[in-house]
Amino acid sequence: MKAIDVLTRRGRRYDNLRRIERLDPAVPAECDEILGLVAYHEFPFEYVQGTSIAFMRDYGVPTISDLLDRTGRFRDDGQKRYDDTSLIGFEAAVDGIDSARAHAAVRRMNQIHSSYGIPNHEFRYVLATTLVGPKRFIDAYGYRPLHPHEIAAMTRFTTRFGELAGIKDLPSTYEEYERLLDDYEAEHFAYAPANTRVAEASMKIVTDWYPPFARPFARRALIAMLDEPLRVALGLPRQPRWLTAAMDGLLRLRGRLMRHLPPRRADDGYAHDASRTYPFGYKIADLGPLTHSTEVHAHAPAEAAGTTALQYRTSEGA
């Protein structure tokens, strides 16, 4: 029966796409449905990998990595930091961006960020990476191109998330987000020792999932997946050309093979596996650092410490 089920589902590989084509990303509920299909059913692997590389991009900006380095969150409690970031994104998406669950997640994120004095332009850039990163990874390694409805839904979700977070001067189209990211990196990417420390601490989170003998190769494979401007900004060693080509080829081969595999069923479900940090489940209040840091952004105004940098706004007020 399982073999018959798999064969039947293989013939329905593009059912989700046909559903997406009938939905309107300008309608909030349908936008939420499209995003869920993209992130948790059509491209769950690509979405996670694209987002992970997107977060690495943040470390190529010295003022961002400097603050992350001084707080020590990745160095001292990296797995929790990784899980918390992923879970806030999941909580914001799973019931729709304007659900009570999503608002609670954004509120918690704003509480975490409130005392650091992070400037709006950095929040805009980090937000852009969470859209452009997954989109570019899916473009390169997905089993099919993204449909315009999917790109529109991803963009609307990103903008709404940013509005709830209180980020100002947000783009409204994917092309504007992509231009924001490229222009910001052209101006702000630069090597600094803190970039390398935070990047190495972040990669250690992932490599520690593997047996000790495999960790050095896993680290090299992760570096091989980074584009050259990012690798240079992070101060990470250049990898052999064969390894970079092999990683690119394997990911492209995976995408081609996925065309012949059955789609994820609607009842398969998908969520970030946070069992390493929260084996017995979690509450929104559990997300975030266990202790408060007194560090502030290097360019924060003197009054920033202890104040709310981003005020949470309800859907009626944003």
Share of the chain above pLDDT 90, in %: 79
> How far apart, in whole angstroms, are the C-alpha atoms of residue 223 and residue 18?
36
Q: What is the DSSP letter of 261?
A: S
Question: What is the reported pLDDT for 291?
Answer: 82
Q: Pick from 159, 139, 151: which is nearest to 255 by CA?
A: 139
Per residue in 105-114, pLDDT (tens digit) is 999 999 999 8
Residue 113 in tokens: 């960020």
3-state secondary structure of 112: helix
Q: For 39, which DSSP code?
A: I
pLDDT in tens, 61-98: 999 999 999 999 899 899 999 999 999 999 999 999 99
- Does 57 have pLDDT greater than 50? yes
Q: How many Cα atoms within 13 Å fall on the side-chain side of residue 16?
A: 25
Give the model's confidence band at 263: pLDDT under 50 very low, under 70 low, under 90 confident, else very high.
Answer: confident
Residue type, 48: V
Determine the straight-line distance between the first and last CA of the chain, rounded to whole angstroms: 50
261 in Cβ contact with 10 (< 8 Å): yes
pLDDT band with cut points at 50, 70 and 90 for residue 240: very high
Most confident of 8-17, 256-265, 276-285: 276-285
The CA–CA distances, whole Å, from 173 to 11, 80, 155, 178, 183 equal 34, 33, 6, 9, 16
Helix/strand/coil for 98? coil
Residue 122, both tokens: 């950095």
pLDDT in tens, 123-160: 999 999 999 999 999 999 999 999 999 999 999 999 99
Q: What angle is formed at CA 134 by the lines to CA 235 and CA 274, rounded to 5 degrees?
A: 85
* pLDDT of 164 higher than 60: yes
